[in-house]
Amino acid sequence: MMKKDERVIADVNIAKSVGYMVFWIGIFIVLLYRWFMLEQTFLETFDFFFIWFVASLVQFFTLALKGIPITYPISMSSKEQYYYVFIVPLLTGVLTSAAVILKVGIDLQRIILGFVVSFVTTILLFLLYRVVLSIWEKRNI
């Protein structure tokens, strides 16, 4: 019978973490393939999207509830974190706009709508993360 060694437990957690990351990225790649290569609609891929989205939210809020900064494992000052919280949603909006152009073509209304929706949604998620993290810091520090 194997003893409960902290090193073994840490190694098991690392293996599970790597497995989860492969799962998470793999499902996202399958989604992109089905959307852009097979040209399936969102409703046709909703099952994959739902699993990927729920896994993402669980990871996102688990980190926030444990007080881990949004930029972990990269250490950043609070000023750099604010830049990160703005730049990542901006990049998300640009990538969404590029996806709209590739999928639909030049349709200015859809491009702007895709940019705004993805930017606002991402920034709201990041702000929610900061709120949860602030509550954790007030409670535990």
Over residues 70-114, the pLDDT tens digits come to: 766 667 777 777 788 788 888 888 888 888 888 778 888 888 888
Q: Is the pLDDT of residue 2 over 70?
A: no
Specify the pLDDT at position 71.
Answer: 67
How many Cα neighbours within 13 Å face the side chain of 111?
10
How does DSSP assign 8-52, residue by residue?
HHHHHHHHHHHHHHHHHHHHHHHHHIIIIIS---TGGGHHHHHHH
Evaluate whether 69 touches 136 at the Cβ level (below 8 Å).
no
Nearest to 99 by CA among 41, 52, 36, 33: 36
Q: What is the mean pLDDT of the chain?
A: 80
Q: Which of 132, 126, 32, 128 is nearest to 82 (CA)?
A: 126
Report whether pLDDT(52) > 70. yes
Is the pLDDT at 1 greater than 50? The verdict is no
What's the mean pLDDT in 46-63?
Answer: 83
